[in-house]
Homo-oligomer: A and B are copies of this chain.
Amino acid sequence: MKDVAARAGVSLGTVSNVLNRPERVSDRTRRRVETAIETLGFVRNESARQLRGGGSRTLAYVVLDTSNPFFTDVARGIQETADAQGLVVYLCNSGDDPHRQAAYLDLLEQQRVEGVLITPADAADPGIAALARRGMPVVVVDRGAGPDRCSVTVDDVLGGDLATTHLLDIGHERIAFIGGPRALGQVADRIAGAERALARAGRGALTVLETTHLDVSEGRRAGERLIGLPAARRPTAAFCANDLLALGLLQQMVRLGLRVPEDMAIVGYDDIEFAEAAAVPLTSVSQPRHLLGRTAAELLLAEAHGGADHEHRQVVFDPELVVRTSTRPHP
């Protein structure tokens, strides 16, 4: 900036004015400074600016897993809101590693970002609470949070209920739930929802096939287990805790020569892009991912601007059932 000032024959302060309040500078001077900036290839040093007091104009989203389309859609919603405010979003991929998550949180705090959105690998990480205590706005995304924090989630109990009610409606009596481990809050909630639907309809218990992960290969394995059951007890429909399981299950059914939905109806969860693209398009429970992200970002901004009198809110959205071929006969 000193060089620019010298070249334009003005003072440092004037260059700064051109950059930050151009209306306070006469046209002639402004143009002179601008050409100096141009020819010298000057680029403002953000560190210095920030040090002097300007905010960082930056948010961060610490994502659980960037390779999961669900989260990248959430991220897009966040970015949209941030964009509208002239803020930039840094995506940090914790890869479900609490250690990496902690490292990122440290770094972001040192960087003095305006706020942190996080889908925690380790929700119990005391680093999150500590961060918030020191005054950093924090919003938890797609995971519950206590009353002392903002969060946005989707009602998984309702989702489980919707899926199961749909299967009951189209006449299924023996329904399997596929997913796990049960220790995951979301899995437990979806099971609870399914059981609620069954109870309301006065039907028997849910057959739960617990899996170790929520991925495609576990879906395939669940398919084998399902087929292994005696025909009299074998479920005619499966509600999967996510679409990856459902895709794996579908694949296994096709491989074994069973028809979907005639021999086995399948409902997934998340409604990822590939649910619709599957050979038999999958019925799935869709979450408002985009809205989730936008709302999270809005809460964060409210907290950042609200100061001490900010009220923490826990927003819960309703999922929606998207019915496709995997639960209805081909036309």
Residues of A at the B interface (CB closer than 8 Å) are 41, 43-51, 66-67, 69, 72-73, 75-76, 79, 83, 88-93, 95, 100, 103-104, 106-107, 109-112, 130, 133-134, 216, 244, 247-248, 250-251, 254-255, 273-274, 276-281, 330
**Complex contacts, A100 vs chain B, CB 8 Å:** 83
**Residue contact A93 to B76, C-beta cutoff 8 Å:** yes
Could you jot down 18 A-B contacts, CB within 8 Å? Answer: A41-B130, A41-B134, A45-B110, A46-B112, A48-B51, A66-B91, A67-B72, A67-B73, A69-B69, A72-B72, A90-B90, A91-B93, A216-B277, A251-B279, A251-B281, A274-B274, A278-B278, A278-B279
Say which residue of B44, B90, B103, B276 sits within 8 Å of A110 (CB atoms): B44
**Complex contacts, A50 vs chain B, CB 8 Å:** 47
Whether A93 contacts B75 in the complex (CB less than 8 A), given A48-B51, A251-B279, A279-B254, comes out as yes
3 A-B pairs with the lowest CB-CB distances in the bound complex, closest first: A279-B279, A91-B91, A46-B110
A50 vs B62: C-alpha distance when bound (angstroms): 23
A247 vs B250: C-alpha distance when bound (angstroms): 14
**Complex contacts, A277 vs chain B, CB 8 Å:** 216, 244, 247-248, 251, 274
**Complex contacts, A51 vs chain B, CB 8 Å:** 45, 47-48, 51
**Residue contact A107 to B88, C-beta cutoff 8 Å:** yes
Looking across the interface, which residue of chain B has its beta carbon closest to that of A111? B46
**Complex contacts, A90 vs chain B, CB 8 Å:** 90-92
**Complex contacts, A106 vs chain B, CB 8 Å:** 43
**Complex contacts, A330 vs chain B, CB 8 Å:** 255
Looking across the interface, which residue of chain B has its beta carbon closest to that of A281? B251
**Complex contacts, A46 vs chain B, CB 8 Å:** 47, 107, 110-112
With A46-B107, A279-B279 known, 9 other A-B pairs at CB within 8 A are A43-B110, A44-B110, A45-B51, A47-B51, A66-B76, A67-B72, A67-B76, A88-B92, A248-B277
Looking across the interface, which residue of chain B has its beta carbon closest to that of A244? B277
**Complex contacts, A66 vs chain B, CB 8 Å:** 66, 72, 75-76, 91
A249 CB, nearest partner CB in chain B, Å: 10
**Residue contact A254 to B280, C-beta cutoff 8 Å:** yes
Looking across the interface, which residue of chain B has its beta carbon closest to that of A247? B277
A100 vs B112: C-alpha distance when bound (angstroms): 23
**Complex contacts, A104 vs chain B, CB 8 Å:** 88
A244 vs B323: C-alpha distance when bound (angstroms): 22
**Residue contact B67 to A112, C-beta cutoff 8 Å:** no
A33 CB, nearest partner CB in chain B, Å: 18
A212 vs B107: C-alpha distance when bound (angstroms): 42
**Residue contact B76 to A95, C-beta cutoff 8 Å:** yes
A83 vs B103: C-alpha distance when bound (angstroms): 11
